[in-house]
Amino acid sequence: MGIQIAPSILASDFAHLADEAERVSNADWLHVDVMDNHFVPNLTIGLPVVEALKKASPIPLDCHLMIEDPDRWAPAYVEAGAGSVTFHVEAATAPVRLARELRALGARAGMALRPATPVEPYEDLLDELDMLLVMTVEPGFGGQEFLDLCLPKVRRARQLIDRHGLELWLQVDGGVSAETVGRCAEAGADVFVAGSAVFRADAPDHAVDELRERARAATR
Ligand code: DX5
Ligand code: ZN
């Protein structure tokens, strides 16, 4: 699949989501940050907005659920139109069952790790997933500083994926910018979420192209 860029609408204008999506028509995914004010201290958007966005934009939706009890809520995001649904392993009761359910409903199944959550305990689960998300900030807010301490985990995750010959995508999210994207790509990430770096730019589509180019350059 190669390098993919997923702008996070968290940094966009919530009053004009359809227009904001159109400004990044060259993106591979639209990253939708769902926060419930329990798993993380922030509250953002939920199912009705995902449904509306699905109708308003042709870009596939990558829903990142920062919520408690994803076992109960995640499948509904597939029904709402998400092409990819990522739950946090710290919040899931039965991650294998949940990943299988998401796949059975026709979505890509993603699993996210907070900065302090190691990847090694989940080695045997990786085959159940289509994407692993290694957070590069503490989830909850956009515009935070990139945590370089997460890069060794990206590297170890890449080694596990390659050792098992898996197809799954390795996503990074948080503080990804023109300055940090190369380090992430070099460590082995191939899907890059960026909020501020894209939507705070004068030309968000150019920012997407630049991120893609810098990630490619770092892996050449
Ligand atoms: C943080 C969210 C991120 C956020 C990234 O909890 O998961 O997707 O939107 O925003 P930036 O790119 O500004 O760090
Ligand atoms: Zn996110």
Give the residue, out of 12, 141, 171, 181, with the most ligand 1 atoms within 8 A of its beta carbon, to mutate for a pocket test.
141
pTM of the model: 0.98
Looking up tokens 């596939």 gives 60
Q: Which atom of ligand 1 is nearest to the CA of 8?
A: 9
Cα separation of 80 and 98, whole Å? 17
Q: Ligand 1 in contact with 140 (CB < 6 A)? A: yes
**Residue partners of 49: CB distance under 8 A and separation at least 6:** 17, 32
* Residue 198 Cβ contacting ligand 1 at under 6 Å: no
So what's the pLDDT on residue 42? 97
CB of 173 closer than 6 angstroms to any ligand 1 atom: yes
Q: What is the DSSP letter of 126?
A: G
pLDDT for residue 81: 98
Among the atoms of ligand 1, which is closest to the Cα of residue 143?
13
Q: Are 24 and 192 in contact, with CB atoms under 8 Å apart?
A: no
| Structure confidence at residue 220 (pLDDT) | 87
* Alpha carbon distance, N-terminus to C-terminus of the chain: 15
Is residue 124 part of the annotated active site? The answer reads: no
Question: Is residue 42 lining ligand 1, measured as CB closer than 6 Å?
Answer: no
Q: Which residue has the tokens 């045997």?
A: 124
Q: What is the pLDDT of residue 68?
A: 98
pLDDT computed for residue 1 by the predictor = 77
127 given a catalytic annotation: no
What is the residue-level pLDDT of the chain in tens, covering all 220 positions?
799 999 999 999 999 999 999 999 999 999 999 999 999 999 999 999 999 999 999 999 999 999 999 999 999 999 999 999 999 999 999 999 999 999 999 999 999 999 999 999 999 999 999 999 999 999 999 999 999 999 999 999 999 999 999 999 999 999 999 999 999 999 999 999 999 999 999 999 999 999 999 999 999 8
Average pLDDT, the chain: 98
Q: Which residue in 36, 62, 130, 173 is the catalytic one?
A: 173
Q: Could you please report the per-residue DSSP string of 38-82?
A: SSSS-B---HHHHHHHHHH--SPEEEEEE-S-HHHHHHHHHHTT-
